[in-house]
Amino acid sequence: MDASINEFWSVVKTNLKSKNSENKLLQTWFEPTELVGCDDALTGRRFHLGVPTELHKYWISENLLDRICSEIETVYQGPFEIDLVVTGQNLHVEPENPAALQQALNLNQKPPDGYRSPQAVPEERGTRRDFLDPEYTFSTFVVGRNNEFAHAACFRVAEHPGTDNYNPLFIHGPTGMGKTHLLNAVGNHIRQTSPHSRICYLSAERFLNECISSIRRNEMDKFRLRYRERCDVLLMDDIQILGRGEAVQEEFFHTLNDFFEKGRQVVVASDRMPKDIKGLEDRIRTRLEWGLITDIQMPDIETRVAILRYKAEQRDLRIPEDVVAYIARISKRSIRELEGNLTKVKMFSELQGFEINSELAKRVLATHDDTATITVEDIQRLVADHYRVRVVDLKSKNRSQPLVIARQIAMFLIKKYLDKSLVEIGRAFGGKDHTTVINAIKRIESQLLKDSDLKKDLDELQGRIHNITGV
């Protein structure tokens, strides 16, 4: 290996060992590793790390790989992958063109034409190429009524991948609700219980970009090999993005078929149902609907409180119950917002040296405290989503039975929860007159006494309003 390349890996090793100087076990397993090769992969630079035995490979992949990646990122700024290669005692392999390799490392460039990897390194089972976040596990996922079915389905898949009717497993829900957490939890659980399983976690956008790049470079064989032959579990996030391109959908369709034929597990996540993904081909939609579809919604206020308590405990943060309740009440859009608001309060307290209390929380999060009201548009969206109609149809003159019921319930809820006049409510529904609104409200009030299905629908909608407002 060229001296300059050895220097690159020496910096990584030195940095990592200096940060873990008291960890003798880590240094024992890590010391024999060497950079034995580097080549161009679909997703960026691929570093081949040589280890002497299978035991070294397993220990490093389970305990150290994330820290190695972090140290490489301080030296090399571009995207990269790591392959752990069992090479026995001979860890020194001469590259065919060390100068070109050094240039690529230093300048974050692709290798020049004609440059090949120092050796054809076979992709082995258990190689860490999944990009999973080790912090996202089932044990760190707070279960509530909003996500308990999705959690149970994901855990079932993680325990028995590809063995039952949960293939594919389709998770949908608004942004920031925990879909990515569950995808990673599935991958991390499988990696722990079945170390030799080859797991591929990626976003649909990455899949799309890799596919387009492979088409342009005439390397589709490599692309197909990566996803159809070298992957046992496919975890794909934000799958709604695939509706953008026909060529990508063609490849994804055949990839799905290949997985199903071989009994391999597929888990995907989206911000909408398969039928609502614009531009998605029917043949893909039907295959995604073959398995199990589950959803995640915004957690109710009790679950939000539980999440905040858990996050505070993780950060060794003492926070009064009234502050927890306040943050939970105003954080109604997503779990990300919930965690973000907790972080803001924590950081402000530390930077300013103030104790965390209700006054401080309200001061820091004043711009977020808009829970005094829920808007007309919010209620219209909730009702439209519940009855699977469009908001624009609620405002139309269409008088089909499902729309009439949905429209009347929306008017009833707006009148109950908002300080709006009958005229204002009618105007929000395409200019209906106030008598139409009065009749709608009276009809719902009378039907509630004898229609159990209507009462069930209304209770569910009022529960969702409670989840948003906390009242």
State the SS3 of 341-389.
HHHHHHHHHHHHCCCCCHHHHHHHCHHHCCCCCCCHHHHHHHHHHHHCC
Given a cut of 60, whether residue 93 has pLDDT beyond it is no
Name the H helices within 429-469: 434-447, 452-469
Given a cut of 90, whether residue 179 has pLDDT beyond it is yes
466: helix, strand or coil:
helix
Helix-strand-coil split of the chain, %, nearest 5: 55, 10, 35
pLDDT at 6: 65
- Report the run of H or E that residue 36 belongs to, with start and end: strand 34-41
pLDDT category of residue 441 using cuts at 50, 70 and 90: very high
pLDDT at 353: 82
Residue range 255-270: mean pLDDT, rounded: 93
Residue partners of 93: CB distance under 8 A and separation at least 6: 1, 36, 37, 50, 87, 118, 119
Residue range 362-385: mean pLDDT, rounded: 78
CATH topology of domain 376-469: Chromosomal Replication Initiator Protein Dnaa; Chain: A; (1.10.1750)
pTM above 0.75, yes or no: no
- Segment 94-153, tens digit of pLDDT: 333 444 334 433 433 333 333 333 333 333 333 344 578 888 999 989 888 889 999 999
pLDDT at 121: 34
pLDDT at 58: 72
Instruction: Give percent of the chain with pLDDT exceeding 70.
Output: 85
Distance CA 383, CA 393 (A): 11
Q: Where are the beta strands (DSSP E) in 130-264?
A: 169-172, 199-203, 233-237
- The CATH architecture of the domain made up of 301-368 is Orthogonal Bundle (1.10)
pLDDT category of residue 88 using cuts at 50, 70 and 90: low
Superfamily for domain range 3-107: DnaA, N-terminal domain (3.30.300.180)
Indicate the range of 31-35, 97-101, 156-160, 352-356 predicted with least confidence. Answer: 97-101
Q: Taking all residues of the chain, what is their mean pLDDT, rounded to a whole number?
A: 81
Given a cut of 50, whether residue 319 has pLDDT beyond it is yes
Domain range annotation of the chain: 3-107, 138-295, 301-368, 376-469
- CATH, domain 138-295, list 3.30.300.30, 3.40.50.280, 3.30.70.20, 3.40.50.300: 3.40.50.300
83: helix, strand or coil:
strand
pLDDT at 317: 87
Q: Exposure string (b/e) for 34-46, b if CB count within 10 Å is 16 or more?
A: bbbbbbebbbebb
**Token representation of residue 83:** 């392959």
Look up tokens 């609907």; give the residue.
289
